[in-house]
């Protein structure tokens, strides 16, 4: 969708509306777009390698995760949890670009409107193909395709507002501080995130061989069981969560605890159904090292 949108914007670029010019731009864009895959396919045909497009079709057929009917709502939920108040700023700026018709620099408004329409085009294409046509499921990373265009439209709106009147320096400083604070908040958890591979390496270096278990029913255990008094819980991607397991006995000692990557809410919009997200949010899925004492003891 992002590539298609950029190509469409190139064809209808402001100030170049002649049909002949648009046709030539379309021809050049088409040649540039197909050149690389054409070379790859040619090499595959000459060497007898499997064709790239066959592999793409097979991969697309395997994508069955997620929940197609929420195609229109998921992008908003994902962007809210990923960007928080910035999403509200983007929406306000987009409305200002479309609704605020008076006082605008005409060239700037035309360009800003193109950015807004590009974001709307991507959003509608994702929603229709998922919730209505059921061609594929929308995931969080696909919703991020609207972000560059929303940022560009917001920049145009900000410049327009700054040029319309003389804002006091204190208002500008407060706005910049709010932007910096929101950015720091958005980056805080991702920058501190620990992933299972790193946690396993740290713990095995300190404690030696460890066993593994999950506190959620559904995800198949991705590590082999081995005899150890040390058990690391949830040190994997919790795919297909169904229901929480019974709580651990109070006699079990917790040694270490780390936040699980999927406790970062934007990650829960990658291939999970709404009921599966509820299981993750209603359970303690943190990665925990526990001491069960004798290796023969098992979790309930």
Q: How far apart are CA 212 and CA 196, in angstroms?
A: 11
Lowest mean pLDDT among 208-212, 248-252, 282-286: 248-252
Lowest mean pLDDT among 132-141, 252-261, 269-278: 132-141
CA distances from 288 to 19, 99, 195, 205, 226 (A): 64, 52, 12, 16, 17
Residue 42 confidence (pLDDT) above 80:
yes
Cβ neighbours around 241 below 10 Å, total: 24
Question: Band of the pLDDT at 40, cuts 50, 70, 90?
Answer: very high
Q: How far apart are CA 109 and CA 192, in angstroms?
A: 40
pLDDT (mean) for 54-65: 77
Question: Band of the pLDDT at 265, cuts 50, 70, 90?
Answer: very high
- Which of 212, 209, 216 lies closest to 272 in space, CA to CA? 216
CA atoms within 13 A on the CB side of 207: 19
pLDDT single digits (tens) 174-201: 999 999 999 999 999 999 999 999 999 9
């Amino acid at each position: 969708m992002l590539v298609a949108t950029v190509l469409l914007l190139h064809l209808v670029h402001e100030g170049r509306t002649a049909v002949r010019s648009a046709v030539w731009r379309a021809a050049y864009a088409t040649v540039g777009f197909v050149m690389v895959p054409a070379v790859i396919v040619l090499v595959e045909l000459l060497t007898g390698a499997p064709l790239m497009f066959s592999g793409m079709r097979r991969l697309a057929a395997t994508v069955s995760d997620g929940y197609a009917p929420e195609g229109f709502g998921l992008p908003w939920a994902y962007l809210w949890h990923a960007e928080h108040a910035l999403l509200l700023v983007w929406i306000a700026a987009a409305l200002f670009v479309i609704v605020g018709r008076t006082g605008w620099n005409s060239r700037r408004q035309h360009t800003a409107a193109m950015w807004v329409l590009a974001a709307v085009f991507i959003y509608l294409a994702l929603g229709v193909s998922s919730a209505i046509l059921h061609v594929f499921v929308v995931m969080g990373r696909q919703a991020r395709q609207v972000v560059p265009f929303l940022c560009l439209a917001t920049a145009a709106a900000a410049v327009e507002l700054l040029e319309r009147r003389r804002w006091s320096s204190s208002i500008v400083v407060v706005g910049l501080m709010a932007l910096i604070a929101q950015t720091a908040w958005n980056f805080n958890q991702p920058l501190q995130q620990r992933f299972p591979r790193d946690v396993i390496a740290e713990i095995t270096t300190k404690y030696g061989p460890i066993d593994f278990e999950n506190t959620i029913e559904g995800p198949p255990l991705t590590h082999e069981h081995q005899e150890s008094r040390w058990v690391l819980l949830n040190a994997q991607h919790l795919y297909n969560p169904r229901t929480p397991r019974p709580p651990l006995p109070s006699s079990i000692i917790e040694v270490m605890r780390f936040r699980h990557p999927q406790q970062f809410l934007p990650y829960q919009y990658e291939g999970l159904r709404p009921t599966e997200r509820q299981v993750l949010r209603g359970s303690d899925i943190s990665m925990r090292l526990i001491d069960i004492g004798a290796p023969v003891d098992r979790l309930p």
